[in-house]
Amino acid sequence: KFDPKMLSALDLAFVGDGVYGLLVREMLARDGSRPVGELHRMAVAYVNATAQAAAYDRIAPLLTEQEQAVYRRGRNGGAHPPKNADPGHYAKATGLEALFGYLYLNGAQERARELFEAITANKENAKQN
């Protein structure tokens, strides 16, 4: 059987990056039709390291012990930030992505959606420009 716990933190973050990005795109699409360039700019405002670090801060109190452990694994997973990224924000963003990847691979999509809804409850606070 497949056990997501056996994946590296960066493997979980790789999957979680896609999951989180898809949730952002779905949210934006539900808000109504816009030009693709505008949708892309809006999505980037949610999926950059600074915005994802702030997203983690919003959901941290809601996480179970297991979810916190997965987040910490991702945060400490050794990802090297791009030159223009704050290392602290990048580590937190990687932890958040690892968490979303773990939830998805464990079949806990509803929990991932619940956490995403908590992140985006106030959309203006959910993104950092």
Q: Tell me how far apart the alpha carbons of residues 112 and 11 are, in angstroms, rounded to a whole number.
A: 17
Active-site residue, 17 included: yes
Instruction: List the catalytic residue out of 3, 11, 17, 31.
Output: 17
- Of the candidates 49, 58, 43, the residue with the CA atom closest to the CA atom of residue 118: 58
Which sign does the torsion angle of CA 48, 25, 109, 104 carry? negative
Is the CB of residue 20 less than 8 Å from the CB of residue 120? no
Catalytic center residues: 17
